[in-house]
A and B are shown apart, each in its own frame.
Chain A
Amino acid sequence: MTLREIFRLSHRELVAYRTRSVATVVTVGALFGLLLMILFAVQGLENIVFRYARDATGGEVFLVSDYKDPDLVRERIQEYDGKIVIFSTEELEKLGGELPETTVVAKFTDLKKAYAYYAKGDKTEWGYDSEKCQIEEIYSNQMGVYRYFREKNQDLVWPVTVVLVIVSAFILAFTMAHLIASSTKTFVLYRSIGATRGQLLMIYFVYLMELCAASALFAVAVALILAGILTAAFWNYLSTQLHEFYPEASSFWPILIGVNWREMAVLVSMFMVAPVSFLLCLDQFSNKKIAQKLKGD
């Protein structure tokens, strides 16, 4: 039996139980769609704020560090691929006067390295008292934006993702069990014309995967539509706010749709629902069960 033949037979189930299949796809797709919309919107917001924040400094991050041992700070800056910046008197005046002797200004072009330096996660390695080292960003607030969205993702998005995945898995499993239980006549027919249990399992597994794929597509569509609506609703507000906050930055379209690996992980997790549901329905394929239902029908 070729994969194409298996797909053809599994697709028949989807067509045969169109209403239930569509209901499942819509329910699961809508749930995951809401989650994906949140992820899209949060990532889109992060992207646009970052874009403004980076544009304000030409994509560079300027960090001012103040510590009792400036040489140690300089070593750290070099370790993170930063460059020491010596301000001219004019530039210092713009910043509001002279800097203390213990202060070092560094410029980073790599955002992640800048954040690693800024987050002071290397206190043991460097043997300095990170609590006493003050680091602030000047000209923009890329570090603040970066930290804000990281924390938002950890505090809000992941717990919601986990809950929705579990809820969706149950919905899908329940619906699948119901669908498979309705297919007894087909089981009997297939078994009676020589289908092995393995072939039946394969057909219904592919069917579940097909439902998951349809749910994933529907979820993405729902998420894109909702994120599009969100963008339209907050377009003016965001543009105004961002311009006020980053007056030096160019003007960008505040589109609240962004892609990241978390969204991919959520989509992959949708496909993980299929094997789980399938395992829950395995008993439906036993000869005994089929014989019982045959008589029941």
Chain B
Amino acid sequence: MIKRNNKVDIIQLVGISKQYGGKVVFQGVNLRIQSGALVVLRGESGAGKSTLLNIIGGLERPSAGQIMVDGRSVLELTARERADFYRNEIGIIFQGSYLQPQFSLFENITLPGVFAGMPAPERKMRAERLAQMLGISDNLSFLPSQVSGGQAERACIARALLLSPKIILADEPTSNLDEANAKIVLEILNYVRAQMGVTIIIASHSRDVLQFATQVINLANGAVVEVQNLGVQAANVQSANPGVVISGLSSVTHQNNNIQKMNQEVATGGQNVALGQHAAVNQSNQVQNLGEGGEAMYDAQGNL
């Protein structure tokens, strides 16, 4: 059993231009993003990072150009296909941990399942497992205002992951976090990429995110000025290990208990989930020790 097929262009942008009134945000952007990559969109404020992310996510229409996501033209989706697109293809993490303040973290995380018509027990199971993986199990009943920024951001990640999307778009996921929490969130995103084969695109001006990037795209003056293909480096190989990720979750002191409990659960359930191929390169080295953590929560397709 393997994770999603990697090394395929999951996103293709062809001649994308965007204007607001007379103002050109970017012109003729061409990009190819491989499945399983962690792409960082960099640039000064106003360079169009968020806009490009919104365009990839179908939240904004480009003035010109074509966007193909997983072989489908985002601009030609019907209303029904668009809903399915958000349910199956893309998970979006908005800037500033946008959670519904009147709902508990659990309700926030399960919202995509509600719209997708997922049965309540399955929603609950998925949410609890994701919360366990992300170290917010004890906070599920809390309102967003009652948890820290880092925990809220993790809830956003869990929400984005609930329906097992192929791509996650994250707009400045660490902008409101302190250094420690920002690191944890980035490690989690990298972990998700490594374990589920999810393609992650992060719009950020933070330097911290670069250590996890497999590809860095620099935007400036309405154009892509540089594309750096970094591959997977030693640092993110290390942090793709859930033990390392979870050890960083300072606010969750009994995470190890959760992992043990999860392992017991998996063992007693007779599940034997094979380790997937790693996202980009060096698979055999990178997936060491994964049997001790959250990878057992995914099936052959990388689904929960």
Chain A residues within 8 Å of B, Cβ to Cβ: 1, 5, 9, 12, 15-16, 185-186, 188-197, 199, 287-288, 290-291, 294-295
Contact = CB atoms under 8 A, between A and B. Distances in A.
A9 B61 CA distance: 28
Nearest to A13: B102
A291 B116 contact: no
Q: Is the interface of B mostly helix, strand, loop or mixed?
A: mixed
A290 B82 CA distance: 14
A3 B107 CA distance: 16
B100 A1 contact: no
Contacts of B57: 192
Interface of B: 20, 51, 54, 57, 59-61, 79-80, 82-84, 86-87, 90-92, 94, 98, 100-103, 111-112, 114-117, 159, 163
Nearest to B114: A5
B157 to A, nearest CB: 13
B115 A1 contact: yes
Nearest to A200: B115
25 contacts: A16-B101, A186-B100, A188-B59, A188-B94, A189-B98, A190-B111, A190-B115, A191-B82, A191-B86, A192-B59, A192-B90, A192-B92, A192-B94, A193-B91, A193-B92, A193-B159, A194-B86, A194-B115, A194-B163, A195-B83, A196-B83, A197-B79, A290-B59, A294-B59, A294-B60
B215 to A, nearest CB: 23
A135 B92 CA distance: 81
Contacts of A287: 82
Contacts, number: 68
Contacts of A188: 59, 94
Interface centre among A189, A190, A194, A295 (most CB of B within 10 A): A194
Contacts of A291: 54, 59-61
A189 B94 CA distance: 8
Contacts of A5: 114
Given A193-B111, A291-B61, A12 B86 contact: no
A12 B98 contact: no
Contacts of A294: 54, 59-60
Contacts of B84: 194
Nearest to B169: A192
B42 to A, nearest CB: 21
A16 B102 contact: yes
A290 B102 CA distance: 22
Nearest to B54: A294
A192 B103 contact: no
B129 to A, nearest CB: 18
Contact of A194 (B51, B98, B101, B112): B112
Nearest to B57: A192
Contact of B86 (A186, A193, A295): A193
Contact of B112 (A16, A186, A193): A193
Contacts of B101: 16
Interface centre among A191, A192, A193 (most CB of B within 10 A): A193
Contacts of B117: 1
Contacts of A189: 94, 98, 100
A287 B86 CA distance: 14
Contacts of A15: 102
Contacts of A191: 59, 82, 86
B115 A193 contact: yes
A287 B54 CA distance: 13
B237 to A, nearest CB: 31
Contact of B83 (A9, A16, A194, A295): A194
